[in-house]
Amino acid sequence: MEELRVNRSGLRMWLIALGGVPMVVVGVDVLLRRRIFGVIGSLVFTGDPSLVEPRDVIWAVVLLILGTIFIGFGLRELLIPRPALLADATGLHLHLGHPLSRLVTIPWSEVDDIGAEDLNDDGSVIPVMWVRVSNAGQLPANPWGARWIEPDTLAVMAADWERTPRFVAEAAAEIAIDAARVPDVPVVESSAERMAREALFGSPPPGPSSVAGTTDMEVIT
């Protein structure tokens, strides 16, 4: 396997985008016509509605901003997906920053081990892929979507990945093993090196092919 690319789950991104729709609808309704909010307000609030006017506007702005962020993020990941993880011959590339940040590269020479497990977070079980690194100081101290479970071990949250973290860890380990194999590179002698060798040690004796060719010629003659 030359490259491993892991995107976020399309279903989860679609649900995130849908979750932002009611936020935007309610926010716009409160700021403009107040039809939906008027019905809800009549059931919840009593007395003069003007008493909660400033608070309504603040909540409407907050809902509008959050809804727009959810819709924009979900649609962007659906239409132009960016990998949450990428593994190739150069190393392991992780998304450890904010949603618009670039991937952080960890060379294979700095990866000591890699695996997957279920992390218990206050009673919630979160699937993670952990990476044990030799140079933790080069990585963010407070990464997004990840957590330092040991001084040298980073656990990357994988709940929204399209593939299981165990599969990703095994595939990434195979890529790391393949990258560590050094291919046999033939030694090519330049003309200058060949002339210097011949000047010092003389011309090499003819090879087996040339000797066999001479013998065949003599027999034919």
Please report, for the chain, the start and end positions of each structural domain, with discontinuous segments joined by +.
8-79, 85-180
- The sheet with strand 153-157 has its strands ordered as 111-121, 124-133, 153-157, 146-150
Say if residue 6's pLDDT is above 60.
yes
> Can you tell me the distance from the alpha carbon of 180 to that of 24, in angstroms, rounded to the nearest whole number?
51
How many other β-carbons are positioned within 10 Å of the β-carbon of residue 11?
Answer: 11
* Mean pLDDT score across all residues of the chain: 77
**Dihedrals φ, ψ of 160, to 5°?**
-105, 15
Lowest mean pLDDT among 140-154, 180-194, 201-215: 201-215
Mean pLDDT of 187-192: 64
Residue 116's pLDDT is 93
Write out pLDDT tens, residues 26-63.
888 777 766 666 655 565 555 555 445 667 778 888 88
* Interval 2-28 mean pLDDT: 79
| Lowest-pLDDT range of 27-31, 87-91, 109-113, 165-169 | 27-31
Supply 7's token pair.
């995107």
Spatial neighbors of 104 by CB under 8 A, at least 6 apart, are 93, 94, 95, 96, 97, 139, 140, 143
Q: Does residue 184 have a pLDDT over 90?
A: no
List own/partner pairs for 62-65 with CB under 8 A and 24 or more apart. Answer: 62/27, 63/23, 63/24, 63/26, 63/27, 63/30, 64/23, 64/24, 64/27, 64/28, 64/31
Terminal C-alpha separation, the chain: 58
pLDDT for 43 equals: 57
Angle between helices 10-31 and 53-79 (to 10 degrees): 150
